[in-house]
Structures are given as C-alpha cells and as structure tokens.
Amino acid sequence: MQLIVTAISKDYGNIAAVSQVSFQINSGDIFALLGPNGAGKSSIIRMLVGMTLPDSGSILVSHQDQHYDHVPRRLLGYLPEDRGLYPDKSIEKNLLYLAQLHGLTKQKALKEMAHWLEVFELTERRHEDLKQLSKGNQQKVQLIAAVLHRPALVILDEPFSGLDPLNQEKVVVFLKALKAQGMTVILSAHQMAMVEKLADHMLLMAQGKIILAGTLADIKQQAGLQRQMMISCTEPVALEQLQQWLPDLDIQALSSTRFSIKLAPQHSVSASLKQLLNQLELSQVEMQAPDLHQLYLTAMANHQCKDQA
Amino acid sequence: MISKQSIIVAKWEFLRFFKWKQQLISYLLMMSVVAAVALWSYFTDESRSVYRIAVPANFTISNSEQFEFQRPTIALSEQLAQLTQQQTWHGVVTLADNEVVLHTLAAKKWQQQLETELNDFFRQQYALELNLTAEQLAQLEQPISLEFAYLDENFKGKDTPEKMIALAVLILLFIGLSTAFGQVLLSITGEKQQRVTEQLYAIVTPQQWMDGKVLGHSLSAMKAMLTSALVMLLSYIVVSVFVSDNGIDFNWLNCTVLAWLVPFALLGVLLSAYFMGAIAASIDDPNTSGKGAVMMITWLPMLFTFLVIDSPTGNAMTVLSWLPLTSFAAMPVRMAMVELAWWQPALSLLLLIASLYWLRRLAGRIFLRGMQMYGKEPSWGQIVGWALSNKTE
C-alpha cells in the first residue's frame, strides 16, 4: 500500500494541530512519526484512519491498482493512542470479536490468534480476563488485535509506551515480522532507539509542522550533526600540534593523550586518519555517529530557537 | 440495511449483558420470595381459626364457620378479666344505649369479619322489628345495578380484556425500556471510558456500530419483556386454576389486537433504544455529564398513555396515537379500546418506521461527530444542528 499525503492541515478552533504537512509512504515501509507531545502526530494518524477529515490537502491511498481518498477499513489495522479492550472478557473472546468484525471466520481468526499469541508468549493465558493481565501484556493483546486480519497498512500510535525494555525489543521483532509479511507500518513513538532500529523513513514534527523528514541518513545530514572520531595516542601530544596537522577540523582535548575530532560530511575519515598516522602512533580509534536521540534533541532545540527568534 | 458487522456487534452486546447463571439465580430467588410470602400468608391466615366471642344473653346471633358465640352468665367485669388473664374468649361484645362495643386485647384481622357478621345480625333484627320479609330485606341489601350504554359504536367498552392486554403491554414496555436504559448508557459510555471506541471505529462505521448496539440492547429489552410476559401468564394460570378454580381460559386473547401490538412494541423499543443511543453517544464522561437523565424521556409515552387511558376516544389519545414518538405506546391501547379502520394503525406504523429511520441516521451521526470532538461533549445546540442537517460522512 502506498500513501501520498499532500499539504494536509487541521485546525481545532484557534489551534493549528497540523499545518501543510506532506509525505509519502511506500509499500512495505516502516514510517515513523516523531515529535514531542502535541506535535500533531496523533492528529495526522486520526486523519489517516478517517476519524477526522483534513481541513485542506489530500490523502491518496493506492493498493493493488485501486485508489482511495482514505484508508479503507478492511485494509487497516489500528492501535489507537487511547487504547483499551473489554477488561471483563478473556483475551480469546476480545480477539475473536475484533477479528470477526474484521470479517474473519471463527476458524481463521482462531488460527491467526494462535500464531500471534505464541509470538507474544500468551498462549497459556488466552482464557484469562484482560483485567488479570499486566499493562504490558494488555498492550501485546492490543497489538495482536491490530494485525489479526493481516491488514495492508498498520497504524500504531505509540506502540512502545508502557512496555519494559525486554517487551520493547519484542515489539521491534514483531514490527519487523509485519514488514517481512509485506505490511506497511506507520508508527508514532518517543523511544528513539527503537525507531532507529526500525524505521525506513521518518518525519520529525513540532507544533504541527515538519522539522525534518526522510531516511535516518537524510535526517542526520539535514540536521547537520557531525560524526566524531575519538583517538587515543601512545604518547602525549599538544592540541596545537594536532590542529596544525588537521587544520580544517574541530578538535577538542579530553586529556593529553585523548582527543575528540568532529568530522563534517565533506571530511573523509580515512584521509584524516592517514594524515594522523603519518605523524604519530595511535593506540585506539573510535567513531561516534550521532544517534536519533541526540538528533531529535538538537532538532527540537534548534526549532525552539528559531521559534523564539 | 443492517450489515453483518452490526449483527456481530448486536450479538456481542446481547451476550455481554446476558448472564444466564445470574438470571437463573434471580428467577429462583424471585420464586423463593413468592413461595415464602405464600407460606407466610397460609400460616398466618386467621380465617381458618375459630374465635370464641362472649355476647349478651339476649343476642340470638348464630354461630358461623369462624365465630362461636357464647353467652356467659358472669358479670362483665369478670368476663373482661377472663379475657385478659385466661383468654377464655377472643372478644367480649357489649351493648349499651344502642352502642355495640367489642372488647379485645388488640386489633386483629378477624375483627373485620366479626364486624360484618354483627352488622348482618343487627340489620336482620331491625328488619324483624319492621316486619319486613326476607325478600324485602334482600332487595334492600341489593346494590343498584347501573348498566352503561355507549352511543359511540366504535368504543368497545370500559374494562374489556383488550384494555387489560394494552395495559399489560404498557407495563411490559416500561420493563423493556428500563432494561435498555441501563444497558445502553453503561455500554456506550463504558466503552468510551475503557477506550474501546476508537479501536472499533477503525473497524466498523459509526452507523454499523450504533445499529449493532441498539439491536443488541433492544434484544435484551425484548427478552426482559418476554420473560415478564411469561411470568404474567403463569401468574394468570396459577390464579385461574388454583385460586379461582376456573380452569384455563384464553378466549379473552384478541389475536387481531395482539398482531398489531407486537410490531408497535418492537418498533417502540427500537425507536427508544436509538434515542438512548444518540444521547449516550453524546456523553463523554457519565460522571460529569447531565445528559443521562434525558434518556428517561423514553418513559414519557407510556406515562402519557396511562394518564389518558380512560378517555380512549379523546383528542389527547388521538394525538398521542399518531405522534411517532408516542404512537408505539398509545396506538395499541387506543386500538384495544376503540374500533379503528385498518389504515389508521397502518399509517401510524408507517410514520413510526419513518421516524425510526431518521432517528437511526441521527444516532449514527451523533456518534461520529462526538468521536470527532475528542473529549469535548457536544452542546444541545450542536445536536439540534446535526438533527436538522442531512449531511452524512
């Protein structure tokens, strides 16, 4: 399923929840919507689900040579931000009900359910009422409910929230499995480490607007965050000496033998390293790329500065 | 018109509130209470005992099944002392200056029967004093029989069996709608509180969701009405066979009236459930919203009809039987008591169906718009605006 979103906007009274946002999601991609609370992620998700209509702009959905102006319910699997199922019903009854609403036969639903319950290690507990489960396990049931009918598009609003690190990893595996099955996944999240492992494309938003968009590499480039090379020398070296050997680079001394060298995109790692090895002996070289978390914080800080200016 | 998804929602909702074990326990409990009351009444029935009553020597009153009249020769003070201390008698009757006094320890139910028997005795005494024959006395005691002749040929009569059926249907409707009231409110607002609604919205359309909810709870209402009707019927059979000793007679059941009653009742339940659904869908938080009480409006048709039931040919009943929001309660009652041309209930039924369709769409629309407002409750003005607009999304 391919989605082309063009200049959508949504206002709630005087508040512009989403302003002129455009993006494209290709079939089989995992697409992440990132941003602080109130950035407009859930508003975009609700427009994609068809719960609200954009005030302006368009959403074009293409699936198997068919085109739609919204995601058809039968092709959609959805995990809402405000989630919950029927607490006084068992896992099996909850899932069976939702699967049958999706049009699955009881037999097919039970088969699909058995597979996903196995994945999330909930098979033994399928007859327990939902209220007896921990929050994390309830979350897993909710995730299963979203994919039981094998939709073409899965939209997950904060799938990692409320999960411990182990279960977050399980969700990463789960999402990779969805991608492997050809499903297109849209997710919103605050757990940057998880997103970095998963997302093919991402959209970083603040106050309803796009701050950064593209692949992780694109975003890093757009953010202008530099790679860092950490070097340790066998003997003490003066900072001024190093600066002479590498005149274009920003170098910081961490100790008399340890230095941090910032590399802009145009600087070659191998060329810089070659230059250094000609002059001195290195005991350790370590590359540090900025992670999504740093990138997110920097981008948000830059956005706030621009906004205040 | 009703999708497969709606049927699945309806089945889920019906079974969600159908706890057969609890239902069975409640029926058993109800039967135990009835049995306990019956046994209590049997063992405390004073009419099966014989009471000894001391009367003056000149009283010629004869003994009856319940009373044994004795004429002691001892003084009144002694009689009263014996009544208090030894309970030789249950009561002592004295006559002084044409005033009859019954002395007893305390008020009891059997004393009413004694009063009746004493009255009969004194009436006969006065008749003898006036030299009246037994026939003359019987004529005097016979109440006037007033026959009613109704000139309006369409009026079937005041207390016909059909009126009883219509009254029973009003009671059943009240039971059904009370059941639906609680369930619709709990189910719709509860689902919002449990955050299930948004999940369901991504699967079914607002109209399918609303149809399913209303069908499910209407089924519960009808189940409550059916079980109550069976209890009524069983009670009638028990009273006829065991109390009145008449045997079972169903000749009073008017099948034509019943055939009209059923569709009116079913459509009435659906109409009311859609109204309740629409109001419940507009409630964001039942703990802070004041809209829940508005759902009780659905009880008004029964109340209004009950108030005008004794004037079935009056203008009020006519208007109520045509008005789509009240016709489901009023038209069956009017039909039961007044002979109407077939087209009148038929047209009223059609109007009811049209209103049901309109209210069904409105309820779906309110749910959709309510969902789009996120945590904000629509105002009455907005709801009226949606009701008047025909825009569907």
Predicted confidence band of residue B86 (pLDDT cuts 50, 70, 90): confident
Residues B163-204: tens digit of each pLDDT: 788 788 889 989 998 888 888 888 888 887 777 888 888 899
Domain end position, chosen among A198, A222, A246: A222
Residue A107 tokens read as 């037999």
Residues A123-158: tens digit of each pLDDT: 999 999 999 999 889 999 999 999 999 999 999 999
Question: Phi/psi at B208 (nearest 5 deg)?
Answer: -65, -40
Residue B11 tokens read as 């089945």
Nearest-by-CA chain A residue for B9 = A101
- E strand or H helix at B21, and its extent? helix B20-43
Domain end position, chosen among A168, A199, A222: A222
The Cα of A256 is separated from the nearest Cα of chain B by a number of Å equal to: 59
- E strand or H helix at A44, and its extent? helix A41-49
**How far, in Å, are A127, B63, B111 from residue B60 at the CA level?**
82, 10, 19
3-class DSSP assignment, residue A268: coil
Domain identity same for A88 and A218: yes
- E strand or H helix at B20, and its extent? helix B20-43
**How far, in Å, are A142, A231, B232 from residue B35 at the CA level?**
49, 94, 16
Residue A100 lies in a domain: yes
From A78, A83, A97, residue closest to B195, measured CB to CB: A83
Domain identity same for A215 and A238: no
Domain identity same for A57 and A185: yes
pLDDT of residue B196: 85
Domain identity same for A130 and A178: yes
Domain identity same for A74 and A92: yes
A256: nearest Cα among A228, A234, A281: A234
Residues B217-231: tens digit of each pLDDT: 999 999 999 988 888
Nearest-by-CA chain A residue for B198 = A80
Query: Residues near B44 by Cβ (< 8 Å), separated by ≥ 6?
Result: none
Is the pLDDT at A39 greater than 60, yes or no? yes
Residue A23 lies in a domain: yes
Report the CATH number of the B50-141 domain.
3.40.190.10
Residues B306-359: tens digit of each pLDDT: 888 888 888 999 999 999 889 999 998 888 888 888 899 999 999 999 999 999
The Cα of B242 is separated from the nearest Cα of chain A by a number of Å equal to: 45
Domain identity same for A67 and A212: yes
Domain range enclosing A24: 2-222
The Cα of A97 is separated from the nearest Cα of chain B by a number of Å equal to: 8
- Count the domains in chain A: 2
Domain identity same for A200 and A117: yes
Residue A300 lies in a domain: no
Is the ipTM, as predicted for this complex, more than 0.85? no
User: Considering only B112-121, B260-269, B295-304, which range has the smallest mean pLDDT?
Assistant: B295-304
Judged by a CB distance cut-off of 8 A, whether residue A109 touches chain B is no
Residue to substitute from A51, A53, A85, interface B, most B β-carbons within 10 A: A51
Nearest-by-CA chain A residue for B6 = A101
The Cα of A23 is separated from the nearest Cα of chain B by a number of Å equal to: 22
Chain A residues whose beta carbon lies within 8 Å of the beta carbon of residue B199: 78-80, 83-85, 98, 142, 145
Domain coordinates of chain B in residue numbers? 50-141, 155-388
Domain identity same for A195 and A57: yes
**How far, in Å, are B72, B99, B101, B117, B244 from residue B96 at the CA level?**
17, 5, 8, 19, 42
Q: What is the mean pLDDT of chain B?
A: 85
Judged by a CB distance cut-off of 8 A, whether residue A78 touches chain B is yes
Distance CA A90, CA A122 (A): 12
Judged by a CB distance cut-off of 8 A, whether residue A86 touches chain B is yes
Asked if A52's CB is within 8 angstroms of B195's CB, the reply is no
Residue A248 tokens read as 């274009």
Domain identity same for A250 and A208: no
Domain identity same for A142 and A59: yes
Domain identity same for A162 and A43: yes
Chain A residues whose beta carbon lies within 8 Å of the beta carbon of residue B202: 49, 51, 73, 76-78, 80
Nearest-by-CA chain B residue for A102 = B203
Chain B residues whose beta carbon lies within 8 Å of the beta carbon of residue A82: 195, 198
Residue A309 lies in a domain: no
Residue A141 lies in a domain: yes
Judged by a CB distance cut-off of 8 A, whether residue A73 touches chain B is yes
- E strand or H helix at B10, and its extent? helix B4-16
Burial A234-262 (b: 16+ CB within 10 A, else e): eeebeeeebeeebeebebeeeeebbbebe
Domain identity same for A68 and A171: yes
User: Following DSSP, what letter does each residue of B303-340 receive, concatenated?
Assistant: HHHHHTTT-TTSHHHHHHHHSTTTHHHHHHHHHHHB--
Asked if B204's CB is within 8 angstroms of A101's CB, the reply is yes
Judged by a CB distance cut-off of 8 A, whether residue A131 touches chain B is no
Residues A259-273: tens digit of each pLDDT: 999 887 778 888 888
